[in-house]
Amino acid sequence: MQIEGVWRGVEPPHWVLIVSDGHYTQKLPNDGYVLEYAYRVSGNTVTLENLSGGANREQVWDICGNDCTVFEVGQDVPEMNYVKIGE
């Protein structure tokens, strides 16, 4: 599965994911909020290691072309839809 690239959230709050070379940045551009992770992919599961010492996360990605739905494993949050930008 190819997750590298820049992804923008379809629904508010419009998270931006920048995924490249084992580094995963999740940010809210309008307020400067940034989360930094190292990542690894196994099948459709992405494991995120928090680089600032916070909680690690696991996600399941469902990619169809330039569209993606991300499900947080073990968290009571709705799935997020993203579109790949810059291609």
Q: What is the CATH number of the domain that holds 9?
A: 2.40.128.50
β-strands 67-72, 57-64: how paired?
A: antiparallel
**What pLDDT was estimated at residue 1?**
85
Averaged pLDDT for residues 66-70: 97
- Integer Cα distance of 59 and 19 in angstroms: 14
Range of the domain at 24: 5-85
- Integer Cα distance of 67 and 51 in angstroms: 27
In 10 A of CB 73, how many CB atoms? Answer: 11
Domains held by the chain: number: 1
- Integer Cα distance of 17 and 70 in angstroms: 11
**What pLDDT was estimated at residue 86?**
82
**What pLDDT was estimated at residue 30?**
87
